[in-house]
Structure 1
């Protein structure tokens, strides 16, 4: 085996190992954390906050990403098990649903940023827009609007024979070659990464400026107002952490997709294909941290979130303690019932 073939094999092995390792970490983090998120954001302390509603629905979308999208991608990329590479209908539907779901979860975080801006506004008419009614309407609208932005995938995703990282020609579900490939790479980068990230940063900056302005106003602060301010401040910190992770996790892969669309007409040797495959797998699987890490970010940045999450473990601990005590009582009762006939026989003797 030549040194080039050995190098290509090492690159492919590194790509597979990195992909599987990061996938397992993402799945474990998301499976545990997102279920806790849903429980916490439905607690009485937070469920009346519009921002919490955005977090809650985003967590539901992310659950789909962790439990459906990630396993399908692992089977496809690591083990070449994918019905979408052999059936055109599944190809179109699967990629459309997977891309639209992930983008919708990110846009819901953007809506949470907008809600914090509205809530912090010194103008009463804008503050009134930060409500549960507005949140429900915005969530329904984005859940329809974002899939519409990806609806072109149903028409322009097709099956092609491509050369994989090992140099073998295999069927693959991909965007139509030519202009559409470039269009899709650019549009996905805008919809999934650039546009949400830009507006998240913009509304985050405006929210901080509004908060600073309101802090200069002299007002009578009651205990209830203090609790509300602390809750809003913690929600803002949680949101800021989520935004930064989304930007860091999604932007590299979006740039890579744009790169592949521009270089799709080039003839590439096996080494370059293997190198691009390594970069694609690492940046691609890193995007899932934007969907699986929210619980840990919220725990680090939100005191109120930590308190509600802590109640879960305390409740589970109490249930376990009660069950243990009940089991002990049942054992003692059983032993006592067994001893009564024995004592009766001894008394008769």
Structure 2
């Protein structure tokens, strides 16, 4: 079912760009399916349009298909089951023919179009909770784009975080390996990106961004207070400019940089809690227990936080969903694991060791000898002891 959803949406989007009119799209579909299943062909075409004949959005196209075959989601065994009890065998057969028609169109479409297409699929990690249903949805995407990209006319680029890709259950994963590449950016790469972005947005020379619009050393500070990803560096850079505008400044001052960095840090902490709300309920409340703490610490700090959480839960029955964090009082490592997994904490092999992102093996083998460091992106928003503002 999920593969059919991806096939349907991708085909609909490509057809809409290949042939802008309904009649032209109909001719392509008719050429593929010939005289078979004319009713399903017409139904499939109609599912891409609203009542006024305009193209539906991507989400609405998916919902239209789901509604058309009256499917319902189930969490057990990542299955989708039709409401067969309420429907006769002929209706069920119609549903299967519609799905088969979609699969047939997706398979033959690359040989039926005149232009080449490059399809970028992004934001797949949005609202990712790691559920089995989300896993199946992403796995279906890989199967669909692999099928549709066998011909040279259609190529796909799907952007996905590495940890999420590892979680996706893929059949014949080894066959996808040649098409997977890890993308990374150096500090200098991102600095050049920010120069170009600010130059275009503000109509200033690229060479003037760092040194005139911003103090020369401001990029290093911004870099150190993010996770090093381009979108985060650019986001904080823009927030600094917006704060300077609100302050009536002609260039970005240290005050504007510090205020924007604190706001950015607080918002990223809230976003982190929201991202992991399904797996670690009320994570935001746990993170706030680190306000004013040291940047680096051993298990004793986790024990203190676990004790605070336990006290909060005992005084407020509505916080029962924080049981995952209360165990930190007696077993600090049990609190360290989810905070490392979420990316809030980084791992240190000892007090003087360099902090690093924890791997899955690190988290599994965690013991009380390890030290921890709060990720620099969250320093400003938590007002950590030892945090240095920009000056």
Give me the TM-score of the superposition, normalised by structure 2.
0.23
